[in-house]
Amino acid sequence: MSLFDDVLDDSSFAPEKFGPQEGFAGTLLAASACDGHIADEEVGALITTLARMKMYQHVPPHKFNSMMDRLLGILKRGGPEKLIASAIPAVPPELRETVFANACDIVLADGIVEADEKAFIDDLMIKLELDSTRAKTIVQVMVFKNQG
């Protein structure tokens, strides 16, 4: 425990709870950073994915940028693990397979799936409470999508 932890009430620095938009975007941002760096292809896939989704179509650019800044701040301070811990509970049940598929797509975007990324996807499946057979099918489809 640090001196600041003794003096400051740590709960005063607790971030606001995420809504569905932050949860979805935060999960994808964590996927892009799970190997320790964010490739340009992963950023492109993340922005393209979010831009085409209905849940972000009516979000003004300044609010979208503010949301992404907040998510990036959490990622920088706590890493993908902290970001995913806040993001997953905010992803609605009907979007859990969707966010998983898009996370797989982002991991595959740079053409290399590293051990950290494999572990992240395996862990994400568990945290999203997805059926392993269904998750495997999603991974297979995303691999097919990204071939060539």
Q: Tokens standing for 109?
A: 């975007």
Q: What's the pLDDT tens digit per position in 18-71?
A: 999 999 999 999 999 999 989 888 888 899 999 999 999 999 999 999 999 999
Residue 10 lies in a domain: no
Asked whether residue 2 is assigned to any structural domain, the reply reads no
Number of H helices, E strands in the chain: 7, 0
Residue 4 lies in a domain: no
For residues 63 and 70, the answer to whether their CB atoms sit within 8 Å is: no
Identify the CATH number of the domain in which residue 129 sits. 1.10.3680.10
Predicted confidence at residue 8, as pLDDT, reads: 62
Question: Could you list the residue range(s) of the whole structural domain that residue 140 is in?
Answer: 17-145
The pLDDT assigned to 111 comes to 86
pLDDT at residue 112 in the model = 86
Compute CA distances 45 → 7, 41, 73, 86, 105, whole Å: 43, 6, 20, 22, 8
The reply to whether 9 falls in a domain is: no
pTM of full prediction above 0.75:
yes
